[in-house]
Amino acid sequence: MEMIMSDASTASKEAAPSPETPSPAKARLRKACLAFIAGTHESRRPGALHFLWWAFLISLWWCTAASLPFWNMSLSPLSGSLPDMLRFGLATLGCLVFAHMFLILLYSELLPLPAAGAATAILGIIAAVAFAFSYRYNAAMTPEMIQNALETDKREARDLMTPQLLVCFLAILLPQIPLFFRMIKARMRLRIRARMALLGICCAFLSAASLFTDFSGIAIYMREHHDARYFIAPSDAAASAVRALTTDAQSGTVERVPLDKSPLLASSRKQGRPVVIVTVVGETARAKNWGLSGYTRDTTPELKARNVINFTDVTSCGTSTAESVPCIFSAQPRSGYDKKKARAMEQLPSLISRAGVKSIWIDNQAGSKDAAAGIEEKPLAQILPGKVSSAVCPGGVCPDGALARAVKAQLDAAKGPTAIYLHMMGSHGPAYADRYPPSFQHWGPVCRQSDLRQCQLSELRNAYDNTIYYTDSVLASVIDALKERSDLDTALVYFSDHGESLGDDGFFLHGAPYAIAPEVQKKVPMIIWFSEGFQKRAGVDLKCVLRKAASPASHDNIYHTLLDLNGVSSSTYDPSLDLMRGCEKSSGS
C-alpha cells in the first residue's frame, strides 16, 4: 500500500510543471521580444519594425545625450515653470527624435542598407565630436567654427586635444557601435523596404505633430536664439560641415573681382620720405582685460608709456579668426556681410598693393584666411634669417617677440610707400601659458591645462593676463623699431580679431554664434600710434583722434581708415567709417 502511494506521489510530482520553467507561450513571447530588440528573427532578416526600433534608439541617443548642451541652454530659461519646461521639452524632443528617425529611414530607403549603416555611423561620429567640443568648450558647430577648425594648424589642434575631450567623444560614440554593425550587416526584402517608406512618412508626421503641441514656445525660443540649433547633434553639425567644405572648395576656384579697377595713390606719397603703415592683427585679445581700457590690472604698461591712442569701445566682426579676418579686410560692413560674396571680392591688402604700395603679410598664426590673397604672404619663421630663425623659432614655432625683427628687416628694404601686415599668435587658447616666455609670467599661479574646466578661474585669468602683458611688450617693441627710423614716416594700427571667454557665463574660448556670444567675445582692443614725422606730414590732430577714440567703433572702420592712412583713394572708400576723417589737414597726404 505504501509502495503504491509512493509511486502515485512520484508520478504526480513528475506530471506537475516546474514553477521555474516558463510556459511555451511565455517563452515564445520572450524570444520574440529579444529578437525584436536584437533586430533578428527566424529568417535572420530584420523586419521594418526592427529597423524602426534601431532608428528610434539611435535618434533618441543623438537627441538626448549627444545634444545635452542644447538642452542645458534651452531649458534653463524655463527653470522657474515646470509645466512650461515639460511642454517645451517633450514637444522639442519628440520633434527632433522623429525628424532624425525620418532622416535615417529616408536615406536607408534610397541607399543600399550597408551604405545606409555606414552613413549612420558617420553621423554618429559627427554627433560624438560635436558633443565633445560643445560640452567641453561650449563651442557651437557653426559653419564658421567648422571652417576655423579646418584651418587650425597642428599646434593649435594639439592644445585642444585633451583626455577629457576623448572621454566625452567615446561616451557618445561607444553605445552606438553595436547598432551601427547591425545596420551595416542587415539584409531586407523589397516588400519590407516598402514598409519602411511608409514608416518614414509616419515619423515625419509625428515630428510635425510634436512641433505643433508647443509651436509658439518653440518658435519664440528659436527666433530669439537662432543659433541654438547648432548645438543639436548630429544633423546641424553635419549641415555646417557640408556648408564649410562646400564654401572652402568653391573659394579655391573663384576669381576675385576687383571692386575698384583703378585705386590711386596720393601723389604726395611718392615724394619725400617713404611712408610705412604697419597693421597688426591681434589674436583673441579681449577689451575687458586690456589695461588701457580701465582693467584693474595694468596689463599694458609699455603701451601706456608710448602715448598710443586707445579706442575703448570696439566691436568685432565675428567671434572667430576665420570669420573676423576676411570680414575686417572686406569692403562689406558686418551688418551686410556675406562670406560667399566676400570670397569673390578683392580684399583690402590687394587693393592697396595695386595702388602702388609695396605690401607683405607676415604670419605667426594659421594663415591670413585669404585676406592676403594677391600680395606676398610668408610665415614669420621664413622671414627671419636662417640662423636667427633656427635659434628663435625652434621647429618653426616663433614667439610673437620675433615680429619686431621681421619689421626691422622690412624697414631696411622700404624705398617707397610700404604696408606691412603682422598676424600675431597673441592670446590664442586654450594653452595660454604657452603663449609667452617664462619671464612674462607677471601673475600666478597659472592654468597649464588645455582642459580649461579643470582650472581655477583665477589661474585661468592669470595665464590669460600674462598673454596680454606679453602682447603689450611685443607691440611696444614694434613701435620702438618704427621710432628709430627718422628717415621714414610711420604709423601703427593694432586691433584684435575677436575676444575670448574665460568661464564667463559658462563659456570658454571663442567662436560662439554671434547672436548668443557673450560680449567678451565681441569687444576687442584697438590702438593707433603715429610717428612725429607722420603726424606732421598728414597734419594729424591728436586731440581730434582722441575724441573719436572715446566713441564706439567697430571692425567696419578699419577698411576705410587703412585706405586713408595708406594714402589710397578708392571708390570703395566710405568717409563716414574713416576714423581719421576730419582729423587730418588733408586726406591722403
Q: 11-47, pLDDT tens digit by residue?
A: 444 444 444 556 676 666 666 555 544 444 444 555 6
**Cα–Cα distance, 32 to 185 (Å, whole number):** 20
40 vs 490, higher pLDDT: 490
Mean pLDDT of 540-569: 96
Same domain, 228 and 289: no
Taking only the tens place, the pLDDT of each residue in 111-122 is: 887 888 889 899
What is the pLDDT, as a whole number, of residue 8?
46
Same domain, 326 and 200: no
Answer yes or no: is 236 within a domain: yes
**Cα–Cα distance, 120 to 4 (Å, whole number):** 69
DSSP string for 34-102? HHHHHT--TTS---HHHHHHHHHHHHHHHHTTTTHHHHHHHHGGGTT-HHHHHHHHHHHHHHHHHHHHH
* High-pLDDT (> 70) share of the chain, %: 84
Residue 14 burial by CB count (10 A; 0-12/13-18/19+): exposed, middle or buried? exposed
What is the pLDDT, as a whole number, of residue 5?
44
Answer yes or no: is 9 within a domain: no
What is the pLDDT, as a whole number, of residue 189?
62
Q: Which domain holds residue 426?
A: 266-577
Residue 244: pLDDT band by 50, 70, 90 thresholds?
Answer: confident
Q: Is 509 left (phi over 0), alpha (psi -120 to 50) or beta?
A: left
Same domain, 232 and 319: no
With a cut of 60, say whether residue 546 has pLDDT above it: yes
Same domain, 401 and 273: yes
What is the pLDDT, as a whole number, of residue 155?
67
Whether 532 and 515 have beta carbons less than 8 Å apart is answered as no
Residue 193: pLDDT band by 50, 70, 90 thresholds?
Answer: low
507 vs 186, higher pLDDT: 507
Of 196, 222, 249, which residue is a domain's last?
Answer: 249
Same domain, 287 and 238: no
Answer yes or no: is 130 within a domain: yes
**Cα–Cα distance, 248 to 339 (Å, whole number):** 11
Answer yes or no: is 514 within a domain: yes
Q: Which of 491, 364, 365, 479 is nearest to 419 (CA)?
A: 491
Mean pLDDT of 328-355: 90
CB contact set of 99 (below 8 Å; sequence gap of 6+) = 203, 204, 207, 235
Taking only the tens place, the pLDDT of each residue in 143-184 is: 777 777 766 666 667 777 788 888 999 999 999 988 888 887
When divided into structural domains, the chain yields a total of 2
Residue 185: pLDDT band by 50, 70, 90 thresholds?
Answer: confident
Q: Coil, strand, or helix at residue 357?
A: coil
Residue 570: pLDDT band by 50, 70, 90 thresholds?
Answer: very high
Answer yes or no: is 586 within a domain: no
DSSP string for 309-347? EEEEEEE-S-SSHHHHHHHHTSSS-GGG--HHHHHTB--
Same domain, 76 and 156: yes
Of 221, 249, 277, which residue is a domain's last?
Answer: 249
With a cut of 60, say whether residue 289 has pLDDT above it: yes
Among 5-19, 73-87, 92-106, the minimum mean pLDDT is found in 5-19
124 vs 22, higher pLDDT: 124
Mean pLDDT of 554-558: 97
With a cut of 50, say whether residue 4 has pLDDT above it: no
What is the pLDDT, as a whole number, of residue 41?
45
Between helix 215-224 and helix 190-213 the angle, nearest 10°, is: 80
**Cα–Cα distance, 544 to 583 (Å, whole number):** 5
What is the pLDDT, as a whole number, of residue 228?
79
152 vs 315, higher pLDDT: 315
Read off the C-alpha cell for 373.
Answer: 590673397
Of 214, 249, 284, which residue is a domain's last?
Answer: 249
Whether 283 and 432 have beta carbons less than 8 Å apart is answered as no
Read off the C-alpha cell for 1.
Answer: 500500500
Answer yes or no: is 260 within a domain: no
**Cα–Cα distance, 145 to 247 (Å, whole number):** 13
Residue 581: pLDDT band by 50, 70, 90 thresholds?
Answer: very high
With a cut of 90, say whether residue 313 has pLDDT above it: yes
Same domain, 243 and 270: no
Q: State the DSSP H helix or E strand holding residue 370, giving kind and residue range, or none if neither.
A: none
Same domain, 225 and 325: no
Overall size of the chain counted in residues? 589
Answer yes or no: is 445 within a domain: yes
Same domain, 436 and 526: yes
Q: Which of 32, 58, 56, 38 is nearest to 186 (CA)?
A: 38
22 vs 212, higher pLDDT: 212
**Cα–Cα distance, 342 to 318 (Å, whole number):** 14
Which of 216-230, 386-400, 464-478 is the most confident on average? 464-478
What is the pLDDT, as a whole number, of residue 420?
97
CB contact set of 439 (below 8 Å; sequence gap of 6+) = none
Same domain, 279 and 241: no
CATH assignment at residue 381:
3.40.720.10
Same domain, 389 and 474: yes
Residue 479: pLDDT band by 50, 70, 90 thresholds?
Answer: very high
Answer yes or no: is 5 within a domain: no
What is the pLDDT, as a whole number, of residue 343?
80
386 vs 270, higher pLDDT: 270
Strands 418-423 and 275-282: parallel
Same domain, 44 and 191: yes
What is the pLDDT, as a whole number, of residue 347?
93
With a cut of 50, say whether residue 102 has pLDDT above it: yes
What is the pLDDT, as a whole number, of residue 511?
81
Residue 9: pLDDT band by 50, 70, 90 thresholds?
Answer: very low
Computed over every residue of the chain, the mean pLDDT equals 84
What is the pLDDT, as a whole number, of residue 586?
55
What is the pLDDT, as a whole number, of residue 47?
64
